[in-house]
Amino acid sequence: MDDKVLLAPPGAGLPPLERWISRTGLGALRNTLNRRQIEGWLRSETRKVLAIAGELSAEQMKRKVLIPRPTGLEDSSRNWSAAMVLQHLVIVDTGIGELIAALAQNQTFGREVRIAEVKPAPDAGREQLELLENALRTYIDRMSAVANLRTAGRHAHPWFGPLDGHGWHTLTALHTMIHRRQLCAVTRVCSKHPAFEM
């Protein structure tokens, strides 16, 4: 973050009411959508992210801009570049894929999930387009190898509490949608690029 921009620290989380609504919404999605519907949602959101970012120049991709906080995004993430949004998705998709694979094998995931540890680097650039494509492909391949995402084991998310594999799978798609909305806001500020509808 730029020195002139004062934001809440990484990991500060969401306002209490918004956090409760987010937990309730995730639970409803988890109980309503099956794994294939969630996979289709994730693919669709990721395609939109890649399409939006793919039309930006290298300079535009790396330009950090301050945006109003979208619902579901913590304050510390309001001053990212488009490339930082993509890198964050790469980090999270990769981590959740590993986490679900561990739960599916009745293993514990060896580390605590911390929001502050999945923040992107300011020097991220256009290489993140290919990295996100690869991360999605790897994630889908990992999920294809899991017979049942409704695992007996659970692992805690700092905002949503203990989730089974299907809960984490649902969160992956929801998380991508939130950051697609963030990316739309970033592109509106840094260019005249027409963004997808919010």
- Whose CA is closest to 39, among 183, 142, 134? 142
Structural domains in the chain, CATH included, are 16-190 (1.20.120.450)
Tell me the pLDDT tens digit for each residue of 121-148.
999 999 999 999 999 999 999 999 999 9
HSE (CB half, 13 Å, CA atoms) of 135? 25
The pTM of the full predicted model, rounded to 2 decimals, is 0.89
What was the pLDDT predicted at 192? 54
The one-letter amino acid at 156: A
